[in-house]
Every structure is written in C-alpha cells, then in structure tokens.
Structure 1
C-alpha cells in the first residue's frame, strides 16, 4: 500500500515541478509541450494536421486545445487555417521552417529539463526525459479522472487522504502536509474541511495544547480507501510499467 501511495505522491510532485519549470522558463504549459512534441514526432518535414486528430490522440479537452493552438500559432510554430472543403475543420500547416523551429525547441527543452531536475535531485530517465514527464502527466490526469468520476473526490482531496494513510504514527499534522505537498495553509484547510465533512478523516486537537491539530483516517472507511488505492495502482502500472517510478530524494 505504502509503495502505491508514495508512487502517486511522486507522480504529483514531479508533475508540479515540470509545470512550474515550463511556466517560469518558457511561459508555456504541459499542453503546449505535448502538442509540439506530437507534431515533431508524428509528422514529416512538411505536414497538414487536423486539430481534431490532436484532441483525439492526446485526449486533451477541446477548450484547452483551442487555447494552446492559438498560443502556438501566435508564436509561429505553424500556420492555422480553416479547410476550404469544410470550414468546421481547423488545419495546422507545418512547413519545413516550422519543423526546424519545433525540433530546436524540443532539443533545447530536453537539455534544460535535465539541468533543472539534476539541480533539484529528481531521479528521472534523462535519456527519455520528455517521454517520462509527459507519461507522468498522463498518468496523473487519468488518476484525477477516476477519483472524480468514481469517488467524487477532487485530486487535492484524494492526495491528502493518501498522504494521511502513509503516516506511520497515528496522526498527521498540518506541518507534515505542508512540508510534503508544498501547499499553503489555505489549500490545506480547504481539502481538510471536505474530507472531515465526508467523514473520511478525523480532526483531532491536542489535549495539552488545543492550538495543535492533527488528522487521522476514520477506521470505518479504510476498506473503501484500499479499493481506491487498487484503482490508482492499476493506472500507475498501465502507464509506467510494474517498475519503480522516479522518486524524489
């Protein structure tokens, strides 16, 4: 159980670091990276790509694809236009100059990611770093979808529940949550409030100092939480193989 939870937390933390890195260094999102890599990997020097194929192949929501395609068009990574035969179809015209620009970006970002993650002490497969970070993101998005549809949890609530499950002593403190997940107190309190209201988590006050609050799992729901973990374990194995995920030092 602990390995599955630790793998889940690692997936989440690495994904967060990638998102921050892309935003701070390039002012781009993980979706920009996914689409550029898709164009670079799946098409020859010159290509015409229908946007609906990107949505289908990458399984990205329509509104996100629309925004990202507009951004990348403005950055001159391709030409965007409507099909002459069917104006409902949006086409991306990728010329040789665009392919060269995309290939250079992919090359540069691989080097930058390797340097950034080496500094932070993240253990990743540096030979396939883009594949790793994208697969990591896909895995997390699938977990998010499952816990929302099947268990009615938001991802933050689910992550907090899993973290509390890993604490070897009886109670999890707010300080431990903040240190492990790098959340501010507003975010922690919001997730805690929901979990307590749903009765999955007990909120405990120190008998000697009522200002100190800790959290524990409601024993009545442990079996249900184990079932959730089984679902998550299957998703992680499906996307990463039955091997250890990259872990934080």
Structure 2
C-alpha cells in the first residue's frame, strides 16, 4: 500500500521522501532504510529529510505472525514516533494519514485501556506498557490497529489547533505480500467473511487512492476520521447483513 501511495504521488508530481525497512525501487527524492523497532533510527531518518513536509503517510505494518512486541513497536509506537519527529517540519495546512485496519474495529470497546496507553509519551514507556499488559495486547495486531484509531482521534483535536489534520483508514483484506501471513494466521472462513459484500480483496491502488484523498486539500474539513475502505463490510455489519458474532466465533 505504501509503494502504491508513493507511486501515485510521484505520478502527480510530488516530491516524495521515503523511509522503509525494505529498499524502494521508486525514483524518490530521497530514501532512508529504517527499522521502526529502533527509535534512534527513526529520529535519524527523519532528520535526513530536512525541509518542510506537507503531508505524511504512515503505511508501515507487521502482521500477527510476528512477535507481539515487534508488532506493537512498528504498528503503533514506531508510527507515533515518526509522526512526532515529522510534526516540527509541518506547518498550517499539513496533513497526516495512517493505515489502521478493519482488524481494529473493536477500538470503541477498549477506549479506557487505550487512553491509558495514550498517556505514555515515550517510545520506551510504550514498550514497557506492552510488556506489562501482554494479556491485553495478545497477538498485537488487533490491539495495535485499535491504538492507531484512538490515537488518531485524540490527536485530531490537538493538531487542528495548529491547522494540521490527521486521519486514518481501515482497509479490508488487500492483496499485498503481507496477505500470506494473514492466511497463515486466520481461518479462511474469517477472511472470506471480511470480503463481504464485495466478495473480493482490494488492490493496493484501491487503498492508496483514499490515502491520497485524505491528505489532499479536497479533504480540508475531514479530521479525526477512521475511514473504512472495505468494500462495504462495516456497512453490512452495522445493518445486520454480516453477523460479526459468527465471524468472531469462527476466528477462535
């Protein structure tokens, strides 16, 4: 999804600076290899960008087949650290978008727990909290994606006072290299249900388009939103056409 987003930005003439664990094949203005499990590496990578940043796209993620602590470091702690380091480079009119997931749709049931986590203002503190709350964090993926949603909503009220918007997306199943890990860790019936009602997986381009929109001037009044990009799955759940209880029981 991140590669598709960067490619679309380049096609529109943007100056794109990339940071990723894997090398990029795109003709970016600059690229820095970074491991979001290392906060000092994050700080050094952002420092190399230097000048003003108009828009930040947080597209990194690890699946639930990785160790839970690593998943939390990359999906939440690292994403937050990147954002905190980039914010001083942003001015009024700037925007931020992160990729969460429909896997984080349980966020509203655990707001008090997530708000405890949000009060911790250091990377190291988040790591300790995760270690101390291993049972709550579980496999890490769902909890980390919930955390991104709650953090987005929390920060939206604060950052908009500086004229900076922040949103996130909640993709449904998407055909990326990571999908094989989801197939390994998740029952086929659950993945099939998550593709309803459209009955297919999305493409990376179909996820990149909404990311570009949310960070564009056309979305200037959209702030603090977790946008479902799932072919109608959450709509089906909300109207009772998809039984979420059955989906959850099949997952166990």
Q: What's the TM-score bracket when you normalise by the shorter of the two chains?
A: under 0.3
- The structure carrying a bigger helix percent of its residues is 1
TM-score w.r.t. the length of structure 2 is: 0.25
TM-score, scaled relative to structure 1: 0.25
Determine which structure has greater relative contact order: mean sequence separation of CA pairs < 8 Å that are 6+ residues apart, divided by chain length: 1
